[in-house]
Amino acid sequence: MSVALHRSFRFLPLVLLAALAACTKPQQQAGGFHGFPPAAVTVKKVEPQTFPVSFEYVGQTQGSKDVEVRARVTGIIEKRLYQEGSFVKAGQPLFTIDARTYEAQVNAAKADLARAQAQKAQADRELARLKPLAERHAIGQKEADDAASNADFASAAVKSAQAKLAELNLNLGYTKVVAPISGLTSRAQKSEGSLATQNETLLTTISQINPIWIVFNVSENERLRLNRAASDGRLRLPKDNAYDVTVKLSDGSTFPTQGKINFADTRVNPTTGTYEMRAEIPNADGALKPGQFVRVILRGASRVDVLAVPQVAVLDGPQGKFVYVAGNKDGKDVAVPRPVVVGDWVGTDGTNEWVVESGLKPGDPVIVDGVARLMPGGPIKVGPDAAANAAAASPPASSKESAASAGTSSKESAASAGTSSKESAASSSSKPKS
């Protein structure tokens, strides 16, 4: 191989690189940014607004009254008188306990009362006999005083026997266990033949479910954040927790009736670090049952003079969330990333928007459409607002009518022209040939 040919091969890569650079440079200059054309975007100037805001928490239902039905006397359970899980009314019998022992005690107390009453009658007669004699000093004063004391003792014995009889009658009545309130019953904790111990044995539980309560918890951090925003004037909360409470069920459906807050604890639970709150919901048809997990939505608060951007405009980056703002560099429109701190979601016109706590100021042109095609510092082509695009895309009614009438006239003209041509052809064909 000759020396000249060898040198040609050595300089061939440099020649190719130079040619490639020459071809690429005009393309980059024509494309604008790394060979890509400017991205068409839509911007929205953020302005302070007032939005209604809602808060959502997980809660659990419980009866507005949960009563433990316990045996108030000791004895063998003879019979269960209700259907487990059914609705019962106050005063309805639930269980019967063996009452024979208590009936015998009542009979013995009645006998004691009769004896006490007989002794009282005897003491009264003795006092009545000795009283005139004492007035005439025919008997000693001690004898008269003893007779009066015996009459008092007999009267006290009668009252004691009456009280004992009332107590035993009460115990006899406790052998028939009745519902203390109206509500839903749970399963029976003891079956027939089991021993029930006084004031200890749990027989069943009754829950009053109209209205029903929903207990939920608010974290201490969120409570502090809301209070701080309210004190700064950025959040307006309803007075005395007068929220409109809506309940969402586990299948995503919304419970038809709304409720209110009837309790808000002022102390932090040291175990969970949360504040307990409770909502009261009308539940006339009994659709909500105790123990259900639901979502509690509180409405009635509002964000005052806050900046909000559509959800699609907020992106996630390595340093957190950011938005693109339309900027200007060397006389060209470019996309400038702007880190932001977002707060809650707010709903407006059927769309979700992020409340921007910091990072933006009123009047900033935030890019809300075409974000997926943007690169930091890349050129952009700012177009009109989406609403303006829609208005521009749809012509006025008068133009549509004019076009429609013009089309109709053209069709009629063409039809008449075709008809004339056909008639001319027919007439010419009917003439005799010369």
* C-alpha–C-alpha distance, residues 257 and 215, integer Å: 17
Decide if 380 contacts 39 (C-beta within 8 A): yes
Summarised one tens digit per residue, pLDDT across range 126-182 is: 999 998 988 888 888 899 899 999 999 999 999 999 999 999 999 999 999 999 999
Q: What percent of the chain has pLDDT over 90?
A: 63
The pLDDT of residue 272 is above 50: yes
Model pLDDT, residue 349: 67
Model pLDDT, residue 138: 86
Amino acid at residue number 204: T
* C-alpha–C-alpha distance, residues 123 and 253, integer Å: 79
The pLDDT of residue 359 is above 80: yes
* C-alpha–C-alpha distance, residues 363 and 19, integer Å: 48
Amino acid at residue number 331: G
The region that residue 102 occupies, defined by phi over 0 for left and psi between -120 and 50 for alpha, beta otherwise, is alpha
Q: Give the distance between the most distant pair of CA atoms in the chain.
A: 182
Summarised one tens digit per residue, pLDDT across range 8-59 is: 444 444 444 444 444 444 444 444 455 568 889 999 999 998 888 889 999 9
Summarised one tens digit per residue, pLDDT across range 381-423 is: 888 654 344 344 344 444 344 334 434 444 443 444 444 444 4
Query: CB within 8 A of 157, min separation 6: which ones?
Result: 116, 119, 120
Domains of the chain: 39-52+306-392 (2.40.420.20), 72-97+175-200 (2.40.50.100), 99-174 (1.10.287.470), 207-302 (2.40.30.170)
β-bridge pairing 49-70 and 183-185: unpaired
**CA angle 344–347–348, rounded 5-degree value:** 135
Amino acid at residue number 244: D
Decide if 294 contacts 60 (C-beta within 8 A): yes
In order of 224, 273, 276, the CA distances from 270 in angstroms are 16, 5, 11
Give mean pLDDT, residues 298-314. 91
Query: CB within 8 A of 361, min separation 6: which ones?
Result: 307
* C-alpha–C-alpha distance, residues 213 and 386, integer Å: 46
Query: CB within 8 A of 38, min separation 6: which ones?
Result: 32, 333, 378, 379, 380, 381
Please give the structure tokens belonging to residue 318: 């390595």
* C-alpha–C-alpha distance, residues 140 and 41, integer Å: 123
Model pLDDT, residue 36: 67
Summarised one tens digit per residue, pLDDT across range 235-260 is: 999 999 999 999 999 999 999 999 99
How many CA atoms lie within 13 Å of 20's alpha carbon, on the beta-carbon side? 6
The pLDDT of residue 106 is above 50: yes
Query: CB within 8 A of 322, min separation 6: which ones?
Result: 314, 315, 337, 338, 339, 340, 359
Summarised one tens digit per residue, pLDDT across range 180-233 is: 999 999 999 999 999 999 999 999 999 999 999 999 999 999 999 899 989 988
Radius of gyration of the chain (CA): 47
166 in helix, strand or coil?
helix
From 347, 362, 356, 353, select the one nearest 321 (Cα to Cα): 356
381 in helix, strand or coil?
strand
* C-alpha–C-alpha distance, residues 36 and 373, integer Å: 10
* C-alpha–C-alpha distance, residues 89 and 261, integer Å: 27
3-class SS string, 104-124:
HHHHHHHHHHHHHHHHHHHHH
Decide if 77 contacts 190 (C-beta within 8 A): yes
Length of the chain: 434
Amino acid at residue number 316: D
Model pLDDT, residue 400: 42
What pairs with residue 196 in β-bridges?
75
* C-alpha–C-alpha distance, residues 343 and 304, integer Å: 13
64 in helix, strand or coil?
strand
Q: Prior bond to 211 cis, omega within 30?
A: yes
